[in-house]
């Protein structure tokens, strides 16, 4: 058995949550491999909507194991609120969820450091979700992190206070208040809550499960263009969002990986700062935002919108080794008389199909224009019901990328998913 990986190919919010939920019946284990509460994965079914931040998107299915991998940074306060908001009851979530002992903890002071650092950047701010992600991963990399497994060690409080003292020194450098205040108490209470959940060595667990023939789906957060190495650095998140991140974030050997499902929107969005070549600051961009309800699932911020960027998509397919493409939010483009796709960039005076080192240096964009479709596609149940123009758009993408599009999503609900 091989582990399949599902991840975002753009700047996040591609619809990963919806598809992981839809594919969960085909798997025994659904395992998140990186990120933290900066993620917002939306799932809709039976006229209810859930937004998950830390919990894998297979949680609503019976008899499935959901795993929070070592690659995540976990805020216990967010975790507790999230479990309590699911409507499943703590006991049911406890039965369906395993947490890696090696996952790192987000401390209250990590959130303060995030806010202080962003404020210090002024105009150059990243547009972070301010969930403490960057500072928690910084502590991980500098070997000062606190992990879930530390919760069960008697030195836990001493280590915590040493970390907070260090963070307070840093915060003074930012001229920022150094008292975590009430949130510290809430954090300790939330840790007691978290301790009720089963913690495991996910690496051994996954290895054993594979030997037993279990089917495993690794769920990514964010998207390839936000990857710490391959994204639009420094306007990125602090983890590896690419397929390789599934190996380091769960303890999977590269030889055990199978399909790589790459999710992309029929257009592009980005929330936060940083270069976004195809961004539309016009009525078309606003129309995409309105029709696609493009407001952040975690922060509520309006998402920047633009046409599909093929060089960026091809790059993401390359670094991830994508074997199947899933196209999301096709319905949002219904009604546009023309669909534009950025085919190449002009960079240093000549046409470029590869991403330059700095996307902000792109001089202009070269677009292909395809005919749009006028009809509503939200009621379509099969490929055959799609308008010819939508089929042509999808076939154009397949030709350009060399990868088949095997799922097309036409609405937020679980059921609005067309398999080919
Ligand atoms: P994720 O972070 O990749 O899981 O994506 P988000 O949940 O942050 O953002 C995707 C948004 O689009 C959510 O509000 C989904 O409910 C919604 N969505 C997903 N698929 C579709 C679709 O095919 N059509 C429309 N109109 N909305 C969709
Ligand atoms: P999902 O999993 C979209 C963006 C932030 C900011 C940058 C760094 O829902 O697709 P961070 O809080 O990580 O320090 O923010 O990354 N960002 C996301 N954008 N979807 C996400 O997750 C994101 N997680 C972080 O807006 O620009
Ligand atoms: Mg999201």
pLDDT of residue 298: 80
Report in angstroms the alpha-carbon separations of 360 from 275, 281, 306, 356, 364: 5, 16, 15, 9, 10
pLDDT of residue 212: 97
pLDDT of residue 175: 76
Residue nearest ligand 1's atom 27 by CA: 412
Question: 128 C-alpha to center of ligand 2: Å?
Answer: 7
> What number of other Cβ atoms are within 10 A of residue 195's Cβ?
12
Query: Which of 10, 18, 47, 407 maximizes ligand 1 atoms within 8 Å of its Cβ, making it the mutation to test the pocket?
Result: 18
pLDDT of residue 180: 63
* Nearest partner of 332 among 282, 283, 301, 378, judged by Cα: 378
- pTM of the full predicted structure? 0.97
Q: Which residues line ligand 1 (CB under 6 A)?
A: 8, 12-18, 39-42, 44, 292-293, 297, 328-329, 331-332, 409-412, 416
pLDDT of residue 342: 98
* Nearest partner of 339 among 264, 393, 269, judged by Cα: 393
Ligand nearest to the CA of 41: 1
pLDDT of residue 297: 81
Which atom of ligand 1 sits closest to the CA of residue 223?
A: 3
CB 141 within 8 A of CB 200: no
Cα 73 from chain centre: 13
Question: 209 C-alpha to center of ligand 2: Å?
Answer: 31
126 ligand 2 Cβ < 6 A: yes
pLDDT of residue 120: 93
Retrieve residue 245's tokens. Answer: 């991140």
Q: Which residues are catalytic?
A: 13, 41
pLDDT of residue 177: 66
In angstroms, the CA 347 to CA 350 distance is: 6
Report in angstroms the alpha-carbon separations of 317 from 255, 312, 377: 19, 9, 27
Q: Which residue has the tokens 């399949």?
A: 4
272 ligand 2 Cβ < 6 A: yes
* Nearest partner of 238 among 367, 402, 333, 114, judged by Cα: 114
pLDDT of residue 185: 92
pLDDT of residue 2: 95
Which atom of ligand 1 sits closest to the CA of residue 14?
A: 3
Is the peptide bond preceding residue 34 cis, with omega within 30 degrees of 0? no
Ligand nearest to the CA of 295: 1
From first to last of its 420 residues, the chain has per-residue pLDDT tens of: 899 999 999 999 999 999 999 999 999 999 999 999 999 999 999 999 999 999 999 999 999 999 999 999 999 999 999 999 999 999 999 999 999 999 999 999 999 999 999 999 999 999 999 999 999 999 999 999 999 999 999 999 999 999 999 999 999 999 776 566 668 999 999 999 999 999 999 999 999 999 999 999 999 999 999 999 999 999 999 999 999 999 999 999 999 999 999 999 999 999 999 999 999 999 999 999 999 999 988 888 999 999 999 999 999 999 999 999 999 999 999 999 999 999 999 999 999 999 999 999 999 999 999 999 999 999 999 999 999 999 999 999 999 999 999 999 999 999 999 999
133 ligand 2 Cβ < 6 A: yes
Which atom of ligand 1 sits closest to the CA of residue 17?
A: 4
Retrieve residue 311's tokens. Answer: 């060089």
* Nearest partner of 309 among 392, 200, 400, judged by Cα: 400
SS (H, E, C) the chain: CCEEEEEECCCCCCCHHHHHHHHHHHCCEEEECCECCCCCEEEEECCEEEEECCCCCCCCCCCCEEEECCCEEECHHHHHHHHHHCCCCHHHHHHHEEEECCCEECCHHHHHHHHHHHHHHHHHCCCCCCCCHHHHHHHHHCCCCCEHHHHHCCCHHHHHHHHHHHHHHHHHHCCCCCCCCHHHHHHHHHHHHHCCCEEECHHHHHHHHHHCCCCEEEECCCCHHHCCCCCCCCCCCCCCCCHHHHHHHHCCCHHHEEEEEEEEECCEEECCCCCCCCECCCHHHHHHHHHCCCECCCCCCECEEECEEHHHHHHHHHHHCCCEEEEECHHHHCCCCEEEEEEEEEECCEEECCCCCCHHHCCEEEEEEEECCCCCCCCCCCHHHCCHHHHHHHHHHHHHHCCCEEEEECCCECCCEEEC
Ligand nearest to the CA of 412: 1
In angstroms, the CA 97 to CA 32 distance is: 11
CB 61 within 8 A of CB 50: no
């Amino acid at each position: 058995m091989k582990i399949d990986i599902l991840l975002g190919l753009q700047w996040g919010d591609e619809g990963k949550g919806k598809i992981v939920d839809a594919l969960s019946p085909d798997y025994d284990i659904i395992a998140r491999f990186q990120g933290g509460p900066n993620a917002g994965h939306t799932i809709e079914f039976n006229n209810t909507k859930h937004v998950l931040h830390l919990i894998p998107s297979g949680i609503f299915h019976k008899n499935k194991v959901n795993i929070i991998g070592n690659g995540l940074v976990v805020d216990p306060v967010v975790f507790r609120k999230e479990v309590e908001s699911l409507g499943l009851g703590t006991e049911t979530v406890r039965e369906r969820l395993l947490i890696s002992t090696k996952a790192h903890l987000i401390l209250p002071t990590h959130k303060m450091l995030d806010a202080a650092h962003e404020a210090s950047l002024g105009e150059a701010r990243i547009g972070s979700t301010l969930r403490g992600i960057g500072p928690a991963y910084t502590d991980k990399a500098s070997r000062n992190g606190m992990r879930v497994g530390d919760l069960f060690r008697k030195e836990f409080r001493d280590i915590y206070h040493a970390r907070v003292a260090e963070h307070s020194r840093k915060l003074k450098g930012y001229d920022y208040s150094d008292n975590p205040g009430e949130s510290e108490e809430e954090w300790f209470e939330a840790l007691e809550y978290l301790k009720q959940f089963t913690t495991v060595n996910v690496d051994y667990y996954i290895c054993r499960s594979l030997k037993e023939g279990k089917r495993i789906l690794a769920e990514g957060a964010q998207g390839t263009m936000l990857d710490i190495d391959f994204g639009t650095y420094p306007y990125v998140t602090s983890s590896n969002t690419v397929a390789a991140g599934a190996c380091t974030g769960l303890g999977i050997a590269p030889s055990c990986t199978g399909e790589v499902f790459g999710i992309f929107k029929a257009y592009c969005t980005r929330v936060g700062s940083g270069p976004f070549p195809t961004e539309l600051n016009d009525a078309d961009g606003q129309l995409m935002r309105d029709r696609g309800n493009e407001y952040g699932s975690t922060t509520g911020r309006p998402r920047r919108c633009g046409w599909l960027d093929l060089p960026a998509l091809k790059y993401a397919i390359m670094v991830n080794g994508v074997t199947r493409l899933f196209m999301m939010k096709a319905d949002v483009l219904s009604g546009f008389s023309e669909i534009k796709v950025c085919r190449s960039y002009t960079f240093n005076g000549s046409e470029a199909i590869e991403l330059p080192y700095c996307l902000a240096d792109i001089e202009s964009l070269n677009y292909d224009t395809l005919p749009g479709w006028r009809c509503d596609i939200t009621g379509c149940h099969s490929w055959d019901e799609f308008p010819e123009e939508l089929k042509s758009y999808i076939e154009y993408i397949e030709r350009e990328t060399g990868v088949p599009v095997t799922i097309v999503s036409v609405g937020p609900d679980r059921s609005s998913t067309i398999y080919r």
